[in-house]
Structure 1
């Protein structure tokens, strides 16, 4: 199945539903040193902090109104609406998932999925689309949303209340929304076929299970977050040394040589820590899918170390991922039987 899928639906609906995964930490990796650092080494930018994002435009005072969705969500149990999540969020998330599924050219091939956890976070980061809040400052609004939605009991309620509705809307889009599809006869505009909708749901379920595994391992394995702290400290020092290196006069050969050696040591240290983190939380299947588990662990680290959220919240999100995956598979099974 597509090798890059949205594990994100979970954090979308859970976390993201929670501030909707409003976070974003992009790793800009320093280039690996060549033999002659004086000629080819380049400075590295400090990774963006998924929590302390600055320079964002002010929040819109009013969200655009969208047409009502004809889907009548199934509600197997009477659950109250959440005070933060609105119907617009569910519609937007379903549309985002739908647009990023790409059917295969032929039935013998596998479809693809192009929405990553990082991209999902970034999608909701600046505007908190479909989420209700009172704060007018984007950073404070984000904290308000997260403070509510990352409570374990709220995570559970959000999944049970909105999970079935999310997948119903996703299926509705697949059955009614024409889209451009690449086929052996060229580009066509059509609705998804039933088998393609089933595949989309199965891919989403698989990615949710992968995400749940990473979150569960990170919350239960103490060394994981400790190593992430070491990783970030190493990256910070590496950037600092790079900066000093490029500020030196070219005539200061001795100091440049010292810094070049230190840069190489720090890169080796960084990659060693990275490998240990990935080994702790990943699986062969997750690695094959090409998922950015380091980014996910860093996101968790920020929530726990900087945001003050408990490991119980992280474990609740892991369980939510499993629950959402089960819902997606159940919906796929229903379509197979139709």
Structure 2
């Protein structure tokens, strides 16, 4: 994973910097056995606490026992100044600066780094009195601290981006599954209902009117082929639909089922997303009329008002109380929202049912 590679790279760079400062400290204080041992123990304490803090920081966590580990690193950084000559903290303070910037708010961390710079400048000036050396060690405190902070932030941002990419991929998969489920429900519902109706009609006509029965069977086969085509289109993710075409199919299907239909469509061009949402609404409404109502008449109308196109599909036979709400109306509400509109389905006072959808015109 990219985040693991970034973490290994950052960890390697931080370790290299820490080892470099440790070597400088040991070389400087090895001229005396007592000082060398003290310096070795001090730098070991600094490196150990710095390692614990940075290991947690690179994972986006706080080390166990925090803020004790931060306090221990500060003590290991400045206590040797009272035991060793020459300002031991000058080579350990840059690592502490990185820890402060990583784990504290930048305002507080920056202020403490500034105080550390003042302290190192005063301590080195009084002990070695070399302005160039003093300036060098003072400057390394904020620069090394900023470098450590930048490396840790780089790792964390990389990990966050990787997680966000994974979440987007999961969301895309879920969205595609919902699309397939919704399209299959809305698309096949009408086709299967039509197949069932025409098959039932053909079985009743086969004895008394074979020619009409053959016509119904022929239309049943055609509807089945359309259903197969719908499934292929769903699998390809292509569901271009025409409102006019869907209304024409709805009128033919309702009339063949003995339901009187009136369709009045406003002559207006609408965006593709809005037209597809309206076409799906017509399909779902007609499917519900055929499945769940005892309607004898149905009207399909569209009208434009204030830059919005309103579709109404009304019938005179309210949905049966035993019929489930299903996911069709939920899917229509989602499609309407995607087209900048809304969808409602309510019984009417005359014992009928009205499905209405408004979208951007």
Judging by fraction of residues, say which structure has more strand. Answer: 2
Larger RCO (CA within 8 A; separation ≥ 6): 1
Instruction: With the length of structure 1 as denominator, give the TM-score of the two structures.
Output: 0.25
Instruction: With the length of structure 2 as denominator, give the TM-score of the two structures.
Output: 0.24
Larger radius of gyration: 2
Judging by fraction of residues, say which structure has more helix. Answer: 2
